[in-house]
């Protein structure tokens, strides 16, 4: 299944990767790799993760305190947010409309 990002979710991914890279050389790359692995798992098994709210599911990253929030559409998965697990828990809900 194809995976698409909302523009805001792509910006969150880029910002987090940049932050990690500034913190430690190569950490931003490792963050992106972890996100890519999660996206591949979601694409193969989109209904495998628990529901966060309504039709939005969450996939926790293994090595970083982030989660991918996504919805399963007719022919693709839409990444709604790349969210830190301990900050502003429901900020992304305004993106649902």
Q: Where are the domains of the chain?
A: 2-85
H runs (alpha helix) in 45-83: none
Rg of the chain in Å (alpha carbons): 13
| pLDDT given for residue 55 in this prediction | 94
| Cα dihedral sign, 1-49-72-16 | negative
Q: Does CATH place domain 2-85 in 3.30.2310.20?
A: yes
d(CA 76, CA 78): 6
pTM above 0.85, yes or no: yes
Provide the pLDDT for residue 70: 98
Residue written as token pair 């992304």:
92
Per-residue pLDDT of the chain (97 residues; tens, 9 = 90+): 999 999 999 999 999 999 999 999 999 999 999 999 999 999 999 999 999 999 999 999 999 999 999 999 999 999 999 999 999 989 999 998 7
User: H/E element holding 71?
Assistant: strand 66-72
* pLDDT score recorded for residue 14: 98
């Amino acid at each position: 299944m194809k995976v698409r990002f909302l523009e805001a979710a792509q910006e969150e991914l880029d910002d987090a990767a940049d932050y990690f890279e500034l913190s430690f050389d190569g950490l931003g790359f490792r963050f992106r790799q972890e996100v890519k692995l999660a996206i591949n798992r979601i694409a193969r098994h989109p209904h495998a993760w628990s529901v966060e709210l309504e039709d939005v599911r969450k996939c926790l990253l293994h090595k970083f305190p982030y989660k991918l929030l996504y919805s399963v559409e007719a022919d693709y998965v839409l990444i709604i947010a790349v969210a830190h697990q301990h900050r502003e828990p429901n900020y992304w809900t305004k993106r649902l409309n």
